[in-house]
Amino acid sequence: MMERVKTVCLVLWAFAVNSMAEEYKDRALRLMNDTPLIDGHNDLPWQMRNMFNNRLSTVDLYDLNTTHTNIPKIKAGRLSAQFWAAYVPCDTQYKDAVRQTLEQIDVIHMMCQKYPDVFQFAASSQDIMEAFQKNKTASLIGVEGGHSIDSSLGTLRTMYQLGVRYLTLTHSCNTPWADNWLVDTESEPVQHNGLSDFGKRVIREMNRIGMLIDLSHVSEAVMKQVLEISEAPVIFSHSSAYSICENKRNVPDDVLLEVKKKKGIVMVNFFNNYVTCQNTAKLSDVADHFDHIKTMADASIIGFGGDYDGVPRVPEGLEDVSKYPDLVAELLRRNWTDEEVRDALGRNLLRVFRDVEAVRDRLNGVQADDEPIPLNEVQNPCRTDYGYQEKSSSTRTQALYPLVLVLTWIITFL
């Protein structure tokens, strides 16, 4: 008799648990129906390069099953807006980084052109909402790594004109003007103690043109300098909480508090090694990062930054982009309010985006910074120096002018 009672109790308990899980999932889907889920970082464009050399004509994003991201998974995950990464590796620095980055920007535009019923190109906060109303995935561009602009403010501005809306200041290498996160691990030398003078000018120019400043991948010194310098809020497009996993790619608590003061956003990364500092992780481990950031700072600075298709390992339960609703359901199970979840889904990022646009509009009359980086900070065998050379040649000619006059006088009287 007792065994029968135990069995009945276990069945009733399992039924109650499943019923609660379904209730959280249904509630998550309802919230995602009225608030756009905006993810800060996805590397599908790099997979297009890596697997197909950007020949989008040879791949069908409905059928592609070797990536974390395809169209059916996007629909199942209710992914309303995505910052696609225009990423090229650090070994392109001083070589062909600009060309390679332009090709990644191009493939994102081609994705939108090939699948117009699925993707709508977006370059503003308003564009995101317009795509959401049409049940399309707003497709934005973020350039991942300052090496992609080749230390050129003109290139930065040109990329903005092509639709780029954030720049990750470094990837996993120093640029001639900013230190990357690896200097904090002591595996790379400190070069600039954060930002160089030119790096600070990059920040001001990004404020002026309305480009979001992404602090994922930068050193802690760069984080703190940018938070002090920038007139606009900043983002971490794919970083997690350092107190939960002590990896230097994550955000320390004191920086989280500064992000709160700046009214910025930290978009939580799903890579196992940044979630648990191990090769394995679970969905609940990612939720721990959401909880910590909310407790340490506020739900108003949290977002989603999965890093899908840019990492080799993702948590159990978050195997691909179709799984976002399960993470939202877990937050609800942890007593997040509907309003807190809506903020994390997309309202925080939209607020940051609008604030960046407001700073741009306020600085509308400020002249563009057209002063190039000093030649000695970028000179290398792969770089020509036409503008600098012209200036230096003129200086040399002026210095030689008295000698030319003397030689002319001597020849005249010989």
Number of folded domains that form the chain: 2
Q: Is residue 413 domain-shared with residue 280, that is, in the same domain? A: no
Q: Is residue 183 domain-shared with residue 213, that is, in the same domain? A: yes
Q: Is residue 305 domain-shared with residue 414, that is, in the same domain? A: no
Q: Is residue 410 domain-shared with residue 280, that is, in the same domain? A: no
The pLDDT assigned to 209 comes to 98
Strands (E), 66-151: 79-87, 119-121, 137-144
Q: Is residue 408 domain-shared with residue 350, that is, in the same domain? A: no
Query: Which residues contact residue 297 at a Cβ distance below 8 angstroms, ignoring those fewer than 6 apart?
Result: 256, 257, 259, 260
In the structure encoding, which two tokens stand for residue 63, read together? 């059928």
The amino acid sitting at 208 is R
pLDDT of the chain, 414 residues: tens digit per residue: 667 656 555 545 444 556 688 999 999 999 999 999 999 999 999 999 999 999 999 999 999 999 999 999 999 999 999 999 999 999 999 999 999 999 999 999 999 999 999 999 999 999 999 999 999 999 999 999 999 999 999 999 999 999 999 999 999 999 999 999 999 999 999 999 999 999 999 999 999 999 999 999 999 999 999 999 999 999 999 999 999 999 999 999 999 999 999 999 999 999 999 999 999 999 999 999 999 999 999 999 999 999 999 999 999 999 999 999 999 999 999 999 999 999 999 999 999 999 999 999 999 999 999 999 999 999 999 899 999 975 544 344 444 444 444 444 544 445
The amino acid sitting at 315 is P
Q: Is residue 133 domain-shared with residue 191, that is, in the same domain? A: yes
The pLDDT assigned to 331 comes to 98
Q: What residue numbers bound the domain in which 395 lies? A: 389-414
Between CA 235 and CA 242 the distance in angstroms is 16
Active-site residue numbers?
41, 43, 144, 171, 217, 238, 307
The pLDDT assigned to 23 comes to 97
DSSP character string of 231-283: SS--EESS--BTTTS--TTSBPHHHHHHHHHHT-EEEE---HHHHTSSS--BH
The pLDDT assigned to 368 comes to 98
DSSP assigned state of 60: -
Classify residue 86: in a domain, yes or no: yes
